[in-house]
Structure 1
Amino acid sequence: MNWDTEILHQEEVEVLEESTDLRNLVVYNDDVNTFDHVINTLIKVCGHSVEQAEQCTWLIHYKGKCTVKVGSFEELSGMCTSLHDKDLSADIQ
């Protein structure tokens, strides 16, 4: 292996290590919140488009849960807290 190939390999390993730290922000179904409340909350807290928020809300309703955002724990922790503040059941996996 020549020197240039070693540098390229090292960069690929560093990128792979960074991407493996991604987590899922999951919202769970409940019998309390309305569709409109969940949709509006996903738009405000997670930055979803109307269409994306509606699709996630239907998945939450029919599947019992939906990953609404993917990112690092640090990126998702504030969103998770905001979802809790809006009375949605959510966690980071």
Structure 2
Amino acid sequence: MEEILIVMMLFIGLPWIVLHYMTKWKTSASITQDDEVLLEELYSLAKRLDDRMDTVERLVATDDPEFKPARLIHDQERDNQKLRELDRLLSEKKEA
């Protein structure tokens, strides 16, 4: 009788537990619609703050010729390329 119980646990219980937690893991691995909206809001906020930082650095640089901006290169193309890629992805998502 104990052998039957062990075999049932081995061939029914163990796969059921593994499959149960695999499905839980797969459903929780994706982000929700609310998370996507929050990420888009944070992205637009970061973009606005970056623009403001550029403006503040330009204003301070005109008042004080010895001012060194915190960033090494103002409005660097490498950074802008990443931002354009994110903009493109967002626009593609909105079109779909």
TM-score (norm 1): 0.30
The structure richer in strand per residue is 1
The structure richer in helix per residue is 2
TM-score (norm 2): 0.29
